[in-house]
Amino acid sequence: MKNARVHAKLGQFTEALMQTYGVGPVPGHNLEPRYALPSRATVITILRRLFETFFPGFMGRQQVTRDTVRFHIGALLDEIADDLGEQIYAAVRHEDSELANDRLKSRRFAEDCVLGLFEKLPEIRRALILDVQAGYDGDPAAKNANEVILSYPGLAAIATYRVAHELEACGVPLLPRIMTEWAHSRTGIDIHPGATIGESFFIDHGTGVVVGETCLIGNHVKLYQGVTLGALSFPKDERGKLIRGLRRHPQICDHAVIYSGATILGDVTIGEGSVIGGNVWLTQSVPPHTKVLNTPQIPTFRKGGNGPQAASDDEE
């Protein structure tokens, strides 16, 4: 349906919007860029192809056999290498860095990062298989490991993180956060690519989980929905600007379990084998093999309900 009234004022609306492009604390536009931004759609496609290499026959093309898998994976890696190299090159050139004005150095940096990631792919897949097993072992509702691979949001978020973390460690700008925020939008699980996470990691249910940039998570750790591993405060310099790069998030040691709604803030340590109960708020460290629980409230039982025999307040 064509809106005649809007059409009559189209020039006015356009000009009003144009006026906003030159004001504000940040530009919020990419007009006449020195170099093109990386493509978010291409970055997501790269991730999907990587998932296919980690779990062949589950993701993407499903008609893969032992006779054809070598060719299939080789073709995928060839596509990923070219596309990822271009996206890293674009990200580096767009950033205001010493590499931005040197095309040869930017290309070499992109090639080195792709090579570094590819060398880590077997290790990433090995870690993901352990994550799948942790999901199956930790959830009695899981029928089999295939169900975890195909349907569990926690695994999708963890797989994305494990790729993004390697690119973050290489110093790639923009791309790692594009990846993890895409997973965040799909799963409700927000894992910063700068976090360090060990083996056999399981996030059950998942929605609302936040893992901050400087978190250190050990092996065999299990988180439930709504868990926040965040910062207690954000120190600022003398000009009032945030000081970045400081350690400000929790360390979660091996075999810890953190139940739904728990919030753990600051540079604190949750000891090995500890259990943090639901809705606990923590800003201090916890010794190994400790249970931290909220004081239970005593339930109150009253007559009444929704059925036909329910008593009213007047009858009590």
10 occurs within a structural domain:
no
Q: Cα-flanking dihedrals φ and ψ of residue 224, to 5°?
A: -105, 175
Residues 139 and 218 in one domain: no
Q: Who's near 198: CB < 8 A, 6+ residues apart?
A: 217, 218, 219, 220, 221, 254
- 262 found inside a domain: yes
Between 262 and 294, residue with greater pLDDT:
262
292 belongs to a structural domain = yes
Looking up residue 217, the CATH number of its domain turns out to be 2.160.10.10
Residues with Cβ < 8 Å from 242, sequence gap 6 or more? 234, 235, 236
Tell me, yes or no, whether 145 and 252 share the same domain.
no
Q: Are residues 224 and 121 in the same domain?
A: no
- The answer to whether 154 and 134 have CB atoms below 8 angstroms apart is no
Would residue 200 count as lying in a domain? Answer: no
In a domain, 81, yes or no: yes
Q: What confidence score (pLDDT) does residue 94 get?
A: 81
Same domain, 124 and 241: no
**Residue 157 belongs to a domain with what CATH number?**
1.10.3130.10
- Average pLDDT score, the chain: 90
Mean pLDDT score, 11-28: 85
Whether pLDDT at 175 is above 60: yes
Return the pLDDT at 29: 78
3-state DSSP of the chain:
CCCHHHHHCHHHHHHHHHHHHHCCCCCCCCCCCCCCCCCHHHHHHHHHHHHHHHCECCECCCCCCCCCHHHHHHHHHHHHHHHHHHHHHHHHHHCCCCCCCCHHHHHHHHHHHHHHHHHHHHHHHHHHHHHHHHHHHHCCCCCCHHHHHHHCHHHHHHHHHHHHHHHHHHCCCCHHHHHHHHHHHHHCCEECCCCEECCCCEECCCCCCEECCCCEECCCCEECCCCEEECCCCCECCCCCECCCCCCCCEECCCCEECCCCEEECCCEECCCCEECCCCEECCCECCCCEECCCCCCCCCCCCCCCCCCCCHHHC
The number of folded domains in the chain is: 2
What does the pLDDT read at residue 294? 87
Mean pLDDT confidence for 95-99: 69
Q: Is residue 79 part of a domain?
A: yes
Query: What separation in angstroms does the CA of 250 have from each of 195, 206, 215, 217?
Result: 10, 19, 5, 8
Instruction: Tell me which residue has tokens 């860095």.
Output: 97
222 and 136, same structural domain? Answer: no
Q: Pick from 138, 200, 202: which is nearest to 191 by CA? A: 202
pLDDT at 140 over 70: yes
Whether residues 100 and 181 share a domain: the answer is yes
User: Is 68 inside a domain boundary?
Assistant: yes
| % pLDDT > 90, the chain | 72
Asked if residue 218 belongs to a domain, the reply is: yes
- In this structure, the answer to whether residues 257 and 170 fall within a common structural domain is no
- The answer, yes or no, to whether residue 271 has pLDDT greater than 60, is yes
Q: Given this model, what pLDDT does residue 50 score? A: 97
Among 302, 264, 316, smallest CA distance to 286 is for 264
Q: Which range (36-50, 68-82, 237-251, 273-287) has the least confidence?
A: 237-251
pLDDT of residue 316 exceeding 50, the answer is no
User: Do residues 233 and 109 both lie within one domain?
Assistant: no
Mean pLDDT of 18-23: 84
CB 291 within 8 A of CB 277: yes
Residues 167 and 288 placed together within one structural domain of the fold = no
Q: Determine how many CB atoms are found less than 10 A away from the CB of residue 208.
A: 15
Which are the contacts of 168, defined by CB distance < 8 A and separation ≥ 6? 176, 193, 194
Indicate whether 251 and 169 sit together in one domain: no
Same domain for 40 and 179: yes
Domain match, 175 and 229 both: no
Domain span including residue 280: 208-298
